[in-house]
Structure 1
Amino acid sequence: MGAAKKLSSVRRDWRERDVRVVLAALIVAVATVATIALFASQLQSTLISSASSFLAADRKLEAENGIPVPPEWREEAERRGLKTAEMIEFSTMVFGNDNFQLVAAKAVNDDYPLKGEVEYQLGEDAPRQVSARGPDRGNVWINPRLLRLLDVEIGGSLEIGNKALTVSGLLIREPDGGFSMAALAPRVMMHSDDVAATNVVQQGSRVEYSYLYAGEESDLNAFYRWLEPRLEPSHEWESIRDGEALSQSLLKAERFLLLGGSLAVLLAAVAVAVASRQYAMNQRDTVALLKTLGLSSHGIGQLYIGRLALWGLVGIVGGLLIALPIVWMLNSLVADLLERPVDFRLDILALTPALMTAVVSLFAFAYPPIRRLRNVPAMRVLRSQPGESGREAWLDIGIAVVAVFGLVWLYAREVSLVLALLGGLAALLGILMVLGWLMVIGLRRVSGGGNAWRLALVALYRHRRASLSQIAVFSMTLMLACTLVLVRSSLLDDWQAQLPEDTPNHFLINIAPDAVDDVEDFLQTRSLPLDTLYPMVRGRLTELNDQPVKETVSKDERVGALNRELNLTWMDQLPADNRVVDGEWFEEGQRSGVSVEAELAEKLGLKLGDKLGFTIGSDKVSAEITSIRTVQWDSMKPNFYMAFPPGGALDAMPATWITSFHLPAEQKSELNEFSRKFPTISVLEVDHIIERIRSIVQQVTQAIEAILVLILAAALVVMAAVVSATLQDRQREGALLRTLGGRQSLLVRSTMVEFALLGFFAGVLGVAAAEAAVWALQYRMFEGEFRWHWNVVLSIPLISAVLLSVFGRLQLRPVLEVSPMLLLRRLE
């Protein structure tokens, strides 16, 4: 064929309804996936940027061996365009007004913090202020408790080693001070240039050097690749994802965005599959005519490959033209909600799933039947005998499954997510096979007549293959949409239940055993009920099965729990937000054993029966693992890696107690009175962490609503495409019925009943499959508790029935508005 003929053929093709349906499906598919992918990528970077203020940077490098890193490391980071800052942390005694006190000192340079702000006061009764840097040289900011412990005043002098510093402010909050409860001593912050003059940091001193980095993600990753071969076991590279409190919320948020995008990919694939396959089936006569005119099979293949490529290009361009303005509007909405600017940046990598969805779906679903048609003799095609065998149909299904699996894997890269969704679809298809068999048996005995219900049932039997195909696509579409709705509801319910208004927002640490009752009385008289009180012992995990743990565990430098002291406790009751996943919780009267947190157990390769050895001061204790449990770190309650039974290995060890409670903002002044009465008890404020987690929940909620709208829109497009796939056959039957004297009202009622039945069955199956998928996702990915969603289970089948009956009614418009004879001639 010449170029002019090919162009003319393409133009004629584009005027056909099937081609327009394919293009519409492609455009919607690309627009949906691209919008969700771009918005999710933008929102994810916004969440990470917002949460990074809690690390005071984007990345943090800790040197726990007491030796500063080589200066060329900082030079290399700055050469790569990264901002840097330095900190030195150590414990020391301070002297003030003839009093001594052990403190946790943090020395920072002028660049600290790179993200977030330091909150301080110029006096106990002065308003809180924020600063983008720490104290100046010669000054020190101290924890408010030190005013009473040392009997010093603002403007007074505080000696650290050989250096006298001026107390210029009260340190209220550090951006990176909220993740660890290990620093039980009061904090002081000074300038790093004053450290040398104190002479407290000597060779062999217990000191930790920390280096902060901020910049573009690509630059940070490139720097880490350069840095990684130079790191030693005592070096630890951290990101915001390593923080126990916020990391869980970030992880759930990102997983939900992945879920939304994966559902969009699946729906887009279904939309393109339905539309393109219908087009391919309708090309049999065209292929026969082309072969009759002498076009070879190879030429036919090239012709259709060119057409599909051209349509793919049109779909991609059209989808992007729709997606980009929508993403810009969604980002503007997020910026308004957060009351902060959100930079809109086009992430090319985020567009990959959208482009691959269009190309793979088009060629995986449309080309296989066309490829087979080119090998069929022209006469067999003209006789409507394309020669498809069951084996070829199964080959198509296999190609489709591989294509769908590949697309979802490309987008999500989460095995549990892919298996949950595809497992739900597989179960759905299995049920449909049984349903099809029952439909054939049950509807075979229905005879026709003038009743709308009888006509509808006869039509279902007559179009049983098409009906089953439509039920399959409708139920898959409803399953995917319902999965997102149900996970959204479950996720938000879990988050809201996890962080109610009375969530504990303050920790009390270092409570002496003889002060426990006094602390409880103090808070109860002020209507501030305590959460559970836990004893706490500081110890290091040093042995595993009587061998040094750092020799037994590979890559121990990646496990921070091996490089620091852990908070150990004993308890008789399993906390409400913990769940035993292996083994059994301590029985009443049990005195031996230890329960280990699940993620740490996985990192260290621990299993039931392993013997752990701990060093506590100069003492050593050991215990056998009797259970492994999950811990909800973002519950804002005391949580522990290791838990022993009462009267067990920790019973003889000196312990302090820890608890948490909720303090309303209007009662903040109670903290001053509490600190005066209990000067040795540390108060850790985590209300700012709770505010940030709630901010993340709010942002994700908005994203969920936007994604939900897009998914439902895509679902409607899929359903419309499926209904229109049998448009010609149904219009022909409607015209024949009118020609034979059938009334319009009977035709309308029977068609609407037929589609209502299809919608109802599809709704029941879709909701059942969605509940199964949600169970798997909620249990495995979001670590939540599954609950039946009866409001959705009961309403979706009815909504689906009404919606499809409306679609069926719309199909009758040509039948009712055009002369039956004219319509029959047009269809022929």
Structure 2
Amino acid sequence: MSAAVDTAGRRAGESGAGRQGRAGELATSGRIAWRELRSGLQGFRIFLACLILGVAALAGVRSVSSALDAGLAEEGRVILGGDIEFSLIHRRADDRQIAYFEKAGDLSEIATLRAMARPDAADNGARALVEVKAVDGDYPLFGAMELAGGGTLHDALARRDGRWGLVADPLLLARLGIAPGALVHIGDTVFELRDEIVTEPDRASDGLMFGPRVMMTGEALQEAGLVQPGSLINWEYRLRVPEPADIDALTRVSEGAKAAFPDAGWRITARTNAAPGVKRFVDRLTLFLSLVGLTALFVGGIGIANAVTNFLDGKRRNIATFKCLGASGRTVFQIYLIQVLALAGLGIAAGVVLGAAVPVVAGLALRGLLPLPLEIGLYPEPLAVAAAFGLLITLAFAIWPLARARSLPAQALFRDTVAPQQAWPGAAYGAATAAALAGLAGLAFWAFEDRWLTAWYMAGLAGSFLVLLGLGRGLMRLAARAPRPANASVRLAIASLHRPGAPTTSVVLSLGLGLSLFVTLALVDTNLTRELRTSLPQQAPSFFFLDIQPGQRDAFVERLSASEGAHDIEQVPMLRGRITRVNGVPAREVTPSEEAAWALRGDRGLTYSSGVPENSTLVAGEWWPDGYDGKPLVSMAAEIAQGLGLRIGDTVSVNVLGREITAEIASLREVDWRSLSINFVMVFSPSALEAAPHTFLVTAKTPPEREGVLLKDMTDAFPNVTAVRVKEALETVNDLMSKLLMAVRGANAMTLMIGVLVLAGALATGLRARIYDAVVLKTFGATRRQLIGAYVVEYGLLGLATALFAVLAGTAASYAVMTFAIGSGWVFSAPVAVSTALLATAITVTAGLATTWVALRAKPAPYLRNE
């Protein structure tokens, strides 16, 4: 034994004899721990890798979220295009409202809508849905508009030689096959395309767009004939409030507008919440990826336990010597706890540094997904949260194996290789482990805002650990009771599953959680892709035609019906309105369920009908009789009514064109939203809305080969009508979801990678015993081929058993996500299950052979002499 060990034994003995106080004992433990650490990181590489990856994932995801939050707050003026915005649907603000805006600050009026664009010269049938933005001379109030040609926006949009200018997203040029200088038809007007848009400062506040952006002046929009009564146009009035434009100033403007115009029906947005839809999206994605990262960290916790066990296995003789020389169990525990915490601090620090750098790297990727501002900086809170998770995970998974080494007597430690003993730590160490786990749960509830989802997650994680632990021990008992096969390799493999010190339980735990998450996300991915690419297009109409004026409806439907291949033509009146009261309570004071909250955000599509709409089933109440002309009645989608706490006989108020209409709920409907047919949350009795200015919405189906011909014919005949091709809209949504799924798949791959590292650590934990077994077997004549065969069978059985659990758990979890969270159909995918089983088996066998290769190469003579 080395001089360092002799010194350590002497000092530990003195401590055990009581010649040093508690502080002196701790100082001695620290010196011994430091001397042992100087020998290197043997056994702790996987420990460090698990901590670094897990902490970096959590710190990175939450740092990116903080950077986005800070960017949205810092750039709120630019994103919104003003300090405060008043938005109206269908109608412009009146003179009194305009006067109020101009008194409150500098005003910019913007109109947004969808329209159709086509090239003027050499018409080749190309048509494109475009997102029109009509601006005034004061746009933008904040930020800078950048064009490819370097000129100013208003010069590019000005009228020259009797023709209005237009600037467009480069995507429109590609779709129409045109270049700057080309003439483009939009509505009743021919525009000259003057330049391409490089930067649109307020793009993020517009959310998801289904077509490329084009910009024109407000005067050009009026001349194009796109502004008609009931047309689906958003009128936005943005103000630059005089300094100091603080929160109080914005509140005064907002509250003053509400008091002066209580029935205006506008949506008011301040720069402090410039892009609420984007904020909700970021928050939900952050929560999901944080939970995935936390799962990875928990999987890494198993690796920490394995690494500590493996490390202590290598120090077994030192520990036994310490105890023989009089060291107390507490001293032994302190020595190795100090080492574990020192290395954990190193790993956590490295993970925090990597996490802090993630916003810089992620900025480019997120800008490709959405034009979101990232405020690059150091965000202490997410880094501290990730570090705290790392520390608590380390304590939760390291205390138990450390306490086991403390509790075993010296003679048992010498025999632990061939006859491991169960040693239950004292109540204090069990309480410490429980406290660390409770701290993890408490930190999760504090860090993640969705308490309900966090509770389900923690319960699922705890349940998975218990089930996997039971599965591992069940495999060991099953192997112990299995009949002895004739084949020597198979017999050896089965025996290895339940031999003393077998890593069976550790291997099952190591891969189980990672594979379960892999199966869950793979099945969710498969089902979402199926819904978007196969099921929906077959059920959905080919086109939605919007903004059909009442005087055009008959002619439009007649022409559409006469088009070759057009069928299943449906038409309904359409308005837009905003829910203002629920049972007399202002909408802002209502607390809806998460599933129904969207119905209170912004304007909703409204319609009226004398009969129950198609793709709807009446589930409560009665429909109004034909020709009903009494008080306003409404039929609501059942799930939305339930989420708002509404029942038959309750009332809901909506603001339509500045007029508030209160209707009694007469019936509830189950709506098949997935059909993409015409459906509305609220369907009113005809007398409630038919006198209001409105347009008509028409849908039709046509064979794919006829879509281009039909689109050209209808948009040429009715240039003010907007045609939305469902296939293109679905492709836009699918492209966005594919980008999101890339982030999810990346997080999932990281979890699986940590699982593989943990698996390697679990196998390394029993490596000494494996080498000993291999040496003895070789001594008695076993060949390398027989040993390899035994290892392949053993690891293959472990991989298949783990895969079976992962498929079952992942299937149940994906069903819950698709059915309850997304509200969509679910189909089991056999290829995903089979590929998971093969993947698990291949990973386990490969990692097992790679880890135990040293056992296959071990020479019996030198090893037996040293033992």
TM-score above 0.5, yes or no: yes
Contact 2:87 2:235 in 1 (8 A): yes
Q: Is the CA contact (8 Å cut-off) linking 1:280 and 1:366 kept in structure 2?
A: no
SS in structure 1 of the partner of residue 698 of structure 2: strand
Q: Deviations over 1:538-571 (max 9, x none)?
A: 67767755xx443995589x99959978623348
Query: In the TM superposition, what whole-angstrom CA distance separates every residue of 1:416-449 from its partner, at most 9, and x where no partner exists?
Result: 3662574266157337636744752563243376
Code of the residue aligned with 2:51 in structure 1: it is L
- Which of 763, 767, 775 aligns to 1:735? It is 775
The question of 1:111 aligning with 2:111 is answered no
Contact 1:762 1:800 in 2 (8 A): yes
Tell me which of 827, 847, 852 is aligned to 1:787.
Answer: 827
CA–CA distance in 1 between the matches of 2:588 and 2:408? Answer: 65
Cα distance in 2 for residues equivalent to 1:461 and 1:811? 19
- Alignment partner for residue 211 of structure 1, among 238, 242, 266? 238
The letter for the 2-side match of 1:109 is D
Q: Which residue of 2 aligns with 1:533?
A: 571
Which amino acid in 2 is paired with 1:535?
A: P
Equivalences for residues 523-602 of structure 1 within 5 A: 525=563, 532-536=570-574, 548-550=584-586, 554=590, 567-570=606-609, 584=619, 594-597=634-637, 601=641
Q: What letter matches 1:30 in structure 2?
A: V
Task: Specify the SS of the correspondent of 1:657.
Answer: strand
CA distance in 1, matches of 2:435, 2:865: 38
Change beyond 3 A, Cα 1:62–1:397: same
Q: Normalization by structure 2: what TM-score? A: 0.66
Question: Of 797, 808, 811, which aligns to 1:757?
Answer: 797
* Structure 2 residue aligned with 1:811: 851
Task: Give 2:838's aligned residue.
Answer: 798
Distance 1:5 1:344, change over 3 A: same
Which of 472-481 and 41-50 deviates more? Answer: 41-50
Which of 664, 681, 685 in structure 2 is aligned with 1:622?
664
Bigger mean CA deviation after superposition, 247-256 or 754-763 = 247-256
Following superposition, the deviation at residue 761 of structure 1 comes to 0.4
Q: Which runs of 5+ in 1 are unaligned?
A: 75-83, 91-103, 132-142, 148-152, 156-167, 182-186, 192-206, 215-219
Give the corresponding residue for 2:390. Answer: 358
The answer (yes or no) to whether the contact 2:476–2:504 under 8 Å persists in 1 is: no
Change (3 A) 1:638 1:71: same
Give ranges in structure 2 of 5+ residues lacking alignment. Answer: 1-10, 12-23, 113-132, 147-152, 170-184, 211-215, 221-233
Match of 2:50 among 18, 25, 28: 25
CA distance in 2, matches of 1:340, 1:652: 41
How many Å separate the matches in 2 of 1:636 and 1:512?
23
Shift of 1:320: 5.2
State the distance in 1 between where 2:772 and 2:586 align.
77
Give a deviation string over 1:741-797, Cα, whole Å, max 9, x none.
Answer: 222221111121111101110011112111112222233333433221211112222
Q: CA RMSD in A?
A: 6.0
Contact map agreement 1:506 1:683 (CA 8 A) in 2: yes
**Contact residue 581 and residue 653 of structure 2 kept, 8 A:** yes
Count residues with an aligned counterpart: 737
Question: 384-393 or 302-311, which moves further after superposition?
Answer: 384-393
**CA drift at 1:455:** 1.5
SS of the aligned residue for 1:533 comes to strand
Post-superposition offset of 1:736: 1.6
Name the CA shift for 1:667/1:411 in 2 (closer, same or farther; >3 Å).
Answer: same
CA distance in 1, matches of 2:64, 2:428: 40
Does structure 1 conserve the Cα–Cα contact (< 8 Å) formed by 2:87 and 2:268? yes
Q: Structure 1 residues 619 and 85, CA, compared in 2 at 3 Å: closer, same or farther? A: closer
Matches of 1:281 and 1:641, distance apart in 2: 65
- Deviation per CA, 1:511-531: give whole Å up to 9, x if none: 428724633524863877787
- Structure 1 residue 470 corresponds to structure 2 residue 514: no
Aligned to 2:739: 699
Q: Which residue matches 2:117?
A: none
* Deviations, residues 28-54 of structure 1 (Å, cap 9, x unaligned): 333444455556777899999999999
Distance in 2 (alpha carbons) for counterparts of 1:412 and 1:130:
41
Q: 1:47 to 1:477 in 2, by over 3 A?
A: farther
Matches for 1:344-493 after TM superposition, within 5 Å: 345-346=376-377, 348=379, 349-371=381-403, 374=406, 387-388=423-424, 398=434, 402=438, 405-406=441-442, 409=445, 412-414=448-450, 415-416=452-453, 419-420=456-457, 422-423=459-460, 426=463, 429-430=466-467, 433=470, 436-437=473-474, 440-441=477-478, 443-447=480-484, 451-463=488-500, 466-493=503-530
Distance 1:122 1:507 in 2: 30
Structure 1 residues 44 and 528, CA, compared in 2 at 3 Å: closer, same or farther? farther
CA contact (8 A) 1:568 1:640 kept: yes
Q: Does the Cα contact within 8 Å between 2:34 and 2:339 map onto a contact in 1? A: yes
Contact 2:400 2:425 (8 Å CA) reproduced: no
What SS is found at the alignment partner of 2:836?
helix
For residue 766 of structure 1, what is the aligned residue in structure 2? Answer: 806
Residue identity over aligned pairs, in percent, reads 20
| Structure 2 equivalent of residue 266 of structure 1 | 298
The one of 548, 557, 565 equivalent to 1:519 is 557
1:424/1:772 contact within 8 Å kept: no
- What aligned pairs does 1:48-447 form with structure 2 within 5 A after superposition? 60=85, 66=97, 86-87=108-109, 109-112=138-141, 114=143, 128-130=166-168, 189=218, 210-211=237-238, 232=255, 236-237=268-269, 239=273, 242=276, 257-258=289-290, 260-276=292-308, 278-279=310-311, 286-287=318-319, 289-290=321-322, 293=325, 300=332, 302-319=334-351, 345-346=376-377, 348=379, 349-371=381-403, 374=406, 387-388=423-424, 398=434, 402=438, 405-406=441-442, 409=445, 412-414=448-450, 415-416=452-453, 419-420=456-457, 422-423=459-460, 426=463, 429-430=466-467, 433=470, 436-437=473-474, 440-441=477-478, 443-447=480-484
CA pair 477-340 structure 1, distance change in 2 beyond 3 A:
closer
Q: Which amino acid aligns with 2:573?
A: P
Q: Give, in whole Å, the separation in 2 of the partners of 1:188 and 1:811.
A: 69
TM-fit CA distance, 1:388: 0.5
Write out per-residue CA displacement over residues 347-387 of structure 1, whole angstroms, 9 at most, x where no aligned residue. 53443454233212111211244357557776776776674
Q: Given that residues 332 and 406 in structure 2 are in contact (C-alpha distance below 8 angstroms), is that contact kept between their aligned partners in structure 1?
A: yes
Code of the aligned partner of 1:515:
R
Q: What do the CA deviations read for 1:190-238 (whole angstroms, capped 9, x no partner)?
A: 69xxxxxxxxxxxxxxx99843689xxxxx9x96598569853667336
Partner of residue 658, structure 1: 697
SS at 2:646 equivalent? coil
The one of 1, 12, 19 equivalent to 2:36 is 12
Shift of 1:696: 3.4
**Equivalent-residue separation in structure 2 for 1:410 and 1:601 (angstroms):** 31
- Partner amino acid for 1:626? L
Task: Determine if contact 2:77/2:142 at 8 Å carries over to the other structure.
Answer: no
Given the superposition, is the C-alpha separation of residues 280 and 503 from structure 1 closer, same or farther in structure 2, using an over 3 Å criterion?
A: farther
Kept in 1, the 8 Å contact 2:490–2:793? The answer is yes
Alignment partner of 1:812: what SS? helix
User: What is the TM-score of this pair, normalised by structure 1?
Assistant: 0.69
Distance in 2 separating the partners of 1:324 and 1:432: 35
Distance 1:340 1:434 in 2: 47
Secondary structure, counterpart of 2:484 in structure 1: coil
Q: 1:535 to 1:59 in 2, by over 3 A?
A: same
Alpha-carbon distance between aligned partners in 2 of 1:285 and 1:446, rounded to the nearest angstrom: 37
C-alpha change, 1:16 and 1:355, in structure 2 (3 Å) is closer
- Cα deviation 1:698-734 (Å, max 9, x = unaligned): 5324434533443332222122122212212222211
Does the CA-based 8 Å contact 2:507-2:762 persist in structure 1? Answer: yes
- Given that 1:260 and 1:484 are in contact with CA atoms closer than 8 Å, whether structure 2 keeps it comes out as no
User: Contact between 1:270 and 1:473, CA under 8 Å: does it hold in 2?
Assistant: yes
